[in-house]
Structure 1
Amino acid sequence: MNQLVRMSHLFPADTVKEPSPEHRIPFAQSGAFVCKFIIGEPNDRAVCCGAPVQDGKSWCAFHRRIVFEPARPGRLR
């Protein structure tokens, strides 16, 4: 099972509300301009967030904060 650690639990950040579950749709039916973050286990019946997104991004603001780790000062890449 996937373990999810929210970055907001580790670092203080701006408050971004979690999208409503009413937006959720099957991943196979997700089109453009909806969040494609998979809710639960990825399988043939995967459900994605489905919340509206802006600027052609793949994830809504809430899930982008989970997917991307913010850069830390002094960190070498």
Structure 2
Amino acid sequence: MPETEIPEPSSRDRTTLVKLRERQCRYVVSDGGSEAVFCGGRTKEGSSWCPWHRQLVYTKPPSGGAKAGRGFVLPRSG
């Protein structure tokens, strides 16, 4: 089944921590500076990130017995 392309969130949604609201993406997009800037794009229920940033944060574990934990791929031991 082909994967659907996820659109990149608009930069118009970007916001600061004090203005961040429920169901807004918490992915930090600022390049430093005095205040963190968050994506602010719309999130799905139960997610901290919009679909665009979620695909960057989570990766599918490779086949072959790698252990996965909390969304991160851990290398095989031994």
Q: State the TM-score, normalized to the length of structure 1.
A: 0.72
Q: Which runs of 5 or more structure 1 residues have no equivalent in the other structure?
A: 1-12
**Corresponding residue number in structure 2 for 1:52:** 42
The answer on whether the counterparts of 1:36 and 1:48 sit within 8 Å (CA) in structure 2 is: yes
Query: How far does residue 42 in structure 1 lie from its aligned partner after superposition?
Result: 5.3
Query: How far does residue 15 in structure 1 lie from its aligned partner after superposition?
Result: 1.2
Aligned-CA RMSD value? 2.0
User: What is the number of residues matched between the two proteins?
Assistant: 66
The runs of at least 4 consecutive aligned structure 1 residues that moved more than 4 Å come to none
> Does 2:5 match 1:15?
yes
Q: State the TM-score, normalized to the length of structure 2.
A: 0.71
> Does 2:16 match 1:26?
yes
Question: C-alpha separation between the residues in 2 aligned to 1:53 and 1:42?
Answer: 24
Greater RCO, 1 or 2 (C-alpha within 8 Å, sep 6+): 1
Of stretches 30-39 and 42-51 in structure 1, the one that deviates more from structure 2 is 42-51
**Corresponding residue number in structure 1 for 2:70:** none
Question: C-alpha separation between the residues in 1 aligned to 2:60 and 2:50?
Answer: 16
State which structure, 1 or 2, has the greater radius of gyration over its C-alpha atoms: 2
Question: C-alpha separation between the residues in 1 aligned to 2:10 and 2:26?
Answer: 14
More helix by share: 1
Q: Which runs of 5 or more structure 2 residues have no equivalent in the other structure?
A: 68-78
What amino acid maps onto 1:76 in structure 2?
A
The answer on whether the counterparts of 1:35 and 1:59 sit within 8 Å (CA) in structure 2 is: yes
